[in-house]
Chains A and B, each alone.
Chain A
């Protein structure tokens, strides 16, 4: 009958949509295929439950809808059935949770050989910073921010002087090299979001957050802001380019360090602070 059929069609239609719809995740560009696998496991388990429940319900509607003279069973409880359903559900939940937690462990465990790169968000643009020759990012503070120091680096920190600062430019990463992306904001919440990377994390003023990735293919990817950050949230864009080693170094050569970008004032200030000695 019609109602049962429509209910069944909703379940079948959902499955067919899942299989044939053109909208699916973007081709992955990092090591986080594990996340995609976990999503697939979850789709299988939840899809099975969804179809089973709806099909059962549709069958009940088909088989037990009211007719003259029908009388329902009186069947308050069935301890054994309820127990088995609970256990079965628990097993299904564990089958999704366990791989999820294993992958989460990988997600929060940054490999020792990961290099660091900093992304800074502000309304409504991105800035990037690389550690420079000494391999270490200098300290920063929002109170240092000035027109010639938009990322608020600490001029007294020698690690900061050689940091590569990229204002209004694109970030380049090297394929195959794990990188810890340090995230910072100077005003409101932002979120560094590249769909192909799968990883994302909010950027919180007053904190440094992070995630890590290992790019596995070259290409140019859109950076979006994924945490509402005010009126022009939707326009806060940049690009990340994953390069082969040679192209990456060619690009890096052209970038300016913090010292090169604001040398004069830095010298004056350093002189002033050291008392002219």
Chain B
């Protein structure tokens, strides 16, 4: 699809946004703290998400110490182990990945990539961050309340989540619910902003089918999140009512620690349906921004247009839509009506088709490219491998009868870490190496970056690939100790120890990355405005880092799609989206 130059806009002056429409900070506080500038909010989101993510990283070390060397560390008991897995999972999925992709990358990139001065509702956008921060603080506070954080598992299944046999039943579970409710309120404010900005604030010439795939990914994920989070919201409120007021939404008649409880008449499966109606789209809320971003990384660093752009857009939309009718594949062995299995297995495996198309198009973009093995490109390659691996094991778990022996085993743990842990994190890291020069005006150190990539990629693969086979063997998940089980050979314990050692190594290598981020901020090589020679608008800003309002006096006008790399006859191997057709012809003339 060679895009036809946008003839209609020739001779029309670029749109100007009057100054009054933009909120201007008047003090240090309103510039850097209570800022309404999406770029500052993006950095606030990213730093907060990274900080709480580091807590989750440390929790994973503690879990791996226990799993690899059971009985060695007396400071970890069974209750704490459950608290660690719960907080690790919840933080990583929601407070790190969701917040980072949408609040971080979404805020930074959407206005710049669509050619807007800012989000359309800057004040609500600011509020979104502060409510998110409050949610994180409430979550973190559970480490210090009596009884500690909840140990119900990140899925928070009732009845056990609110009964006394589970750690954190006093305060932990209540604050967890409160934190989730706050998170969703904060996200909704941000999410509405992202959607309206993409739909309403695109600059002239930026048609929907000229948007970079990054924007498509974040936009679709945000729409999904706005539809999916309400299910978690009501589930959280109902569970909170069950816990605090003694309602029985999810609580049947049951015995709690030997005595008949006051509950009766509720359905535990109802919670699971609500949770996974949110929870499955959530997987794609994390994955779709990663899909979009990695498409742009691959295209830019292979100096080649993304292969099959239209198919890529439709695949994103199709995956987003399909992901709302597959949720019960998390519940094949939950005891739900067994005949549902046919439907959900079929829809789940159908999702494999648009997902596979995306994979094919990424690798086909590499074909006859001019592949620069920069650090962002390496992370993109690492993403493809881990995502293909994790996506293919999803075909095991999605196929209802195959899921029966594998569910609740380490196979599931390995699968979802590979597909929605390692793979999106690969994209996050690649994206940081890619856009750090735009955010700071300096390059990250390349040697440290390559070291960081190889340790992280190979290490993560060594952690999670063999783990599938523990699950195939039958090793259950969420076990403090495996204890005596005749079917588990001693070699499985050795493998667990090996995985733990690698996990600690990969964890510590992230410190190299953090050092690189800090060191390069002051000492990194100056990047200039467009170090990767990329086409998309964020690289064409008059200042780097972009100033308040992003663009100078005039908004850019878009004349072409986002992927004009190596256009035959053009002088350069990239043509920015805002370069008018006449300038290209002139450049071609000069080249010939």
Contact = CB atoms under 8 A, between A and B. Distances in A.
A173 interface: no
Given A201-B335, A231-B82, A226 B476 contact: yes
Interface stretch (A99-107, A159-167, A252-260, A261-269): A99-107
Interface in B333-373: 333-335, 338-339, 341-342, 345-346, 349-350, 352-353, 356-357, 359-361, 363-364, 366-373
B423 interface: no
Contacts of A196: 487
Interface string B474-506: 101011111101110101100100000000000
B335 A209 contact: yes
B305 A75 contact: yes
Interface string B265-278: 01111000000000
B352 A202 contact: no
Given A53-B359, A73-B566, A222 B399 contact: no
A204 B334 contact: yes
22 contacts: A7-B385, A17-B465, A18-B469, A22-B491, A39-B402, A42-B395, A57-B381, A57-B384, A66-B370, A77-B307, A93-B352, A97-B345, A100-B345, A101-B400, A104-B400, A195-B473, A200-B404, A202-B333, A206-B266, A207-B269, A234-B78, A234-B478
Q: Which of B256, B310, B349 has the most CB of A within 10 A?
A: B349
A226 B356 CA distance: 32
Contact of A21 (B370, B371, B466): B466
Given A53-B384, A97-B345, A122-B255, 6 more contacts: A75-B307, A103-B401, A145-B255, A193-B408, A231-B82, A231-B165
Contacts of B485: 222, 224, 237
Nearest to A1: B373
Report the contact-size class of chain B (Cβ under 8 Å from the partner). 35 or more
A96 B399 contact: yes
A230 B163 CA distance: 9
A189 B268 contact: yes
B163 A202 contact: no
A109 B83 CA distance: 39
Interface in B455-482: 458, 461, 465-466, 469-470, 472-474, 476, 478-482
B167 A64 contact: no
A89 B260 contact: no
B363 A100 contact: no
Nearest to B256: A187
Interface residues of A, number: 100
A230 B465 CA distance: 28
A38 B405 CA distance: 11
A231 B167 contact: yes
B50 interface: no
Contacts of A123: 165, 257
Interface in B220-239: none
Nearest to B485: A222
Contacts of B309: 76-77
B308 interface: yes
Contact of B345 (A101, A124, A229): A101
B311 A82 contact: yes
Contacts of A53: 359-360, 363, 384, 388
Interface stretch (B9-17, B127-135, B151-159): B151-159
B369 A206 contact: no
Interface in B270-321: 302-305, 307-311
